[in-house]
Amino acid sequence: MYTLLIFLHILVCFVLILVVLLQAGKGANMGAAFGGSSQTVFGSSGAGTFLGKMTAAVAVIFMLTSLMLTYMATHRSSSSLMEQKPPVSDQTVPVQSSDAAKVPAPVPSPDAAKVPAEPSAPVNK
Neighbouring residues of 16: CB distance < 8 A, sequence distance ≥ 6: 55, 58, 59, 62
Q: Does the structure show a pLDDT above 70 at 86?
A: no
Contact status, residue 55 vs residue 19, Cβ threshold 8 Å: yes
| Side chain identity at residue 98, one-letter code | S
The amino acid present at 50, given as its one-letter code, is F
pLDDT top residue among 24 and 85: 24
Q: How far apart are CA 2 and CA 14, in angstroms?
A: 19
pLDDT at 23: 85
Distance in angstroms (rounded) separating the CA atoms of residues 58 and 3: 20
Instruction: Quickly count: other Cβ atoms within 10 Å of residue 9's Cβ.
Output: 16
Residue 22: in which H helix or E strand, if any? Answer: helix 2-22
| Residues of the chain above pLDDT 90, percent | 33
Kindly give, in sequence order, each residue whose CB lies less than 8 Å from that of residue 38, ignoring residues fewer than 6 positions away. Answer: 24, 28, 29, 32, 44
- Please enumerate in sequence order all residues whose Cβ is within 8 A of that of 55, keeping only pairs 6 or more positions apart, or say none: 16, 19, 20, 23
Give the least confident one: 27-41, 42-56, 70-84. 27-41
